[in-house]
Amino acid sequence: MLEPKLPAREAERIASLRRLRQLDTAPEERFDRLTRIAALVVGVPIAMVSLVDADRQWFKSRIGMAASQTPRSVSFCGHAIAAGGPFVVSDAGADARFADNPLVTGEPGIRFYAGFPLDDGNGHKLGTLCVADRRARSLSAEQVAILTELAALAELELRSEGLERLMLQRRQATQRLDAVTEALGDALVAVDRSGRVTLFNAAAERMFGRSRAEVLQQDLALLLPDVDPGDPAGYLRRASTARDGTARASTVGDGEPLGQRADGTVFPVELSVSRAAVDGAPLYVTLLRDATTQRGADQDQRQLRREHRFLTEQAPIGIFLTDAEGRYVEVNRRWCELSGLAAEAALGAGWVAALHHDDTQRVVAAWSTQWSTAEHREHPFEIEFRFHSASGRVSWVRLRAVARHNDAGTFTGCLGFVRDVTVLRDAELALRTSEEIHRAVVDAVGEGIVVYDRTAQVVGCNAAAERMLGLPVDRILEWAAPDRGWPAVRADGTPFPVEEHPATRTLTTGQPSADVIMGFSAGDGRRRWISVCTQPMVGAGQLLPWGVSCALADVADPAVPVVEAAPVVDQRRSES
């Protein structure tokens, strides 16, 4: 079994992961929703949002996976974050890297895996949005594109915790989409090449009087008695003969199509069939309506188109379609809001007018190159740029587009998504600037500074602390209490009790400590004497601190009187 390689700058990556404060937290719907969608998109039983810690992978969200964490040494996600991009294992049982992996040979019996790394905005891959199956398979380009978008949304959820306004908007948009979906009254049934039912929605349950458990993996003839159970492919072939891949009810059978309920009663149905491809195999998605309760086929079609359009219009991201020449043929409401252009003005090459003048040449050149050859079209297109509206508003957006092909494999255009990243970029810039200023100030002071988080883990130190302690920063960041203590002594040479370390004392009591004298053997083997002062870092309305700042000062004379601190309950460790 091949163990995952460690990414470059692993200590920084671990520190960034722990700053998120997501490890070992309760499940959240905002992540669970993404894993549910990922599992549905690919059609697999297992989907997760994982965070790769120092020696484990922990699942913030999981579907089809009993364990909440696994060792990093056997994790597929460890390989994914080291790869830095989408990492796909089509058949783990036939792959020498994973064939003897316990996650393959034992539970959950993984054969297929696809992981999409989650970036912290500074190049560190913290975990993945991943899907897995117990059988070998592959992903289509469309599935890769959708999973990449879901991973991007997972990144935003991880990185934008403090942006409450954006989170509220996202929740409201999701609620609108859920409400529209629940309001749809059409039965939805999907069947595979052999005619087995693979999807059966709630409206279909009501229409046919059967539960999903009764219908899934059964022959379509259970619902439509006119379909020959021995030759469901004939029905499916006729359904796919229309030029646009859609067949009306009149193409099936010689008379009016009939549905059959669980009690044996039959009723006329109106249906439309759309052919899609999943893992290279055809999937036939059928919308069925009880013709006895419909007002007419034309009106139904218009209503269906309105509902589909409404779904697109309520999407929280910009969506656009182009033709094979790269000309825009459709944009949604959110795209117009981001660009400042009316939908009619964006069509053709009109969208270029919304670009910021400093970005126009770069974006147009990259866009033209992307769709110029089949080789370029094989890969998703992604770019960040600015929209500059006529009102003067400038907004940063991230565009991602994937190629669309018809059943014959001919390139027909692209499907694109545009997300507003202005607030995120501004927040990240402000955070980086603040951190740089803070680092410059801390490094400029003569005292050593060591910062602990609420779990008594060292999360930062300055150059003076490295010099005083005689250890590099990566060794200092490994210290954690209360498992080990410093080999420290008091000013009189007696051992310094583990339970009296000033940092853990302040974490426990919320009280500062002043001038606690400690002697210890530093990284170079020499005994050094320091004076330690601690200050709690307490948030508004909190009783106990979320962290502690320790100031270290060299003490030349070990006979300096000891000023006792408040009671301490734990002690940090030095190098292992």
Q: For residue range 280-336, list pLDDT tens digits in order.
A: 777 777 777 887 755 454 555 666 566 666 766 777 888 999 998 889 999 998 999
Residue 263: count other Cβ atoms within 10 Å of its Cβ: 8
Q: How far is CA 406 from CA 245, 274, 276, 455, in A?
A: 9, 12, 10, 55
Q: Which two tokens stand for residue 114?
A: 């696809």
pLDDT at res. 358 = 94
pLDDT at residue 483 greater than cutoff 50: no
> For residues 418 and 318, is the Cβ–Cβ distance under 8 A?
yes
Nearest 5°: the CA angle 9, 13, 18 is 150
HSE value, Cβ hemisphere, 13 Å, CA-based, for 268: 11
Q: Counting beta carbons within 10 angstroms of the beta carbon of residue 475, is it exposed (0 to 12), middle (13 to 18) or buried (19 or more)?
A: middle
Q: Which two tokens stand for residue 34?
A: 């993404």
For 536, residues 6+ apart whose C-beta sits below 8 A from its C-beta are 506, 507, 510, 511, 512, 544, 545, 547, 548
DSSP state of 220: G
DSSP state of 224: -
Q: For residue range 152-164, list pLDDT tens digits in order.
A: 998 888 876 534 4
Confidence category of residue 55, pLDDT binned at 50, 70, 90: very high
- How far is 146 from 158, CA to CA, in rounded Å? 18
Tell me the whole-structure pTM to 2 decimals: 0.36
HSE value, Cβ hemisphere, 13 Å, CA-based, for 432: 8
pLDDT at residue 371 greater than cutoff 90: no
Give 287's strand partners: 188, 272
Confidence category of residue 62, pLDDT binned at 50, 70, 90: very high
pLDDT at res. 438 = 66
* DSSP SS3 for 401: strand
pLDDT at residue 190 greater than cutoff 70: yes
Residue 57: count other Cβ atoms within 10 Å of its Cβ: 26
Reading phi first (left if > 0) and then psi (alpha if -120 to 50, else beta), residue 369 is in alpha
Q: Which two tokens stand for residue 337?
A: 């809001």
Q: Which two tokens stand for residue 250?
A: 């009149």
Q: For residue range 233-279, list pLDDT tens digits in order.
A: 566 455 444 334 443 333 334 456 778 899 988 888 777 777 777 66
pLDDT at residue 173 greater than cutoff 60: no
Confidence category of residue 57, pLDDT binned at 50, 70, 90: very high
Q: For residue range 527-545, list pLDDT tens digits in order.
A: 778 888 998 888 767 777 8
Instruction: Report CA 376 to chain centroid distance, whole Å.
Output: 26
Q: How many residues does the chain have?
A: 576
**In 3-state terms, the chain is what percent helix, strand and coil (to 5)?**
35, 30, 35
Give 62's strand partners: 48
User: Which of 333, 331, 328 minimizes the C-alpha distance to 316?
Assistant: 333
Which amino acid type is present at position 254? D
Q: For residue range 419-430, list pLDDT tens digits in order.
A: 999 888 887 777
Q: For residue range 390-438, list pLDDT tens digits in order.
A: 888 899 999 999 998 888 889 999 999 999 998 888 877 777 766 666 6
φ, ψ of residue 316 in degrees (nearest 5): -80, 0
* DSSP SS3 for 485: coil
pLDDT at residue 127 greater than cutoff 50: yes
Mean predicted lDDT score pLDDT of the chain: 80
Give 57's strand partners: 52, 70
pLDDT at res. 195 = 83
Q: Counting beta carbons within 10 angstroms of the beta carbon of residue 98, is it exposed (0 to 12), middle (13 to 18) or buried (19 or more)?
A: buried
> For residues 232 and 195, is the Cβ–Cβ distance under 8 A?
yes
- How far is 163 from 148, CA to CA, in rounded Å? 22
**228-232, 473-477, 535-539: which has the highest mean pLDDT?**
535-539
DSSP state of 216: T
* DSSP SS3 for 14: helix
Q: For residue range 493-526, list pLDDT tens digits in order.
A: 788 776 778 888 888 888 898 888 888 766 566 7
- How far is 278 from 40, CA to CA, in rounded Å? 12
Q: Counting beta carbons within 10 angstroms of the beta carbon of residue 150, is it exposed (0 to 12), middle (13 to 18) or buried (19 or more)?
A: buried
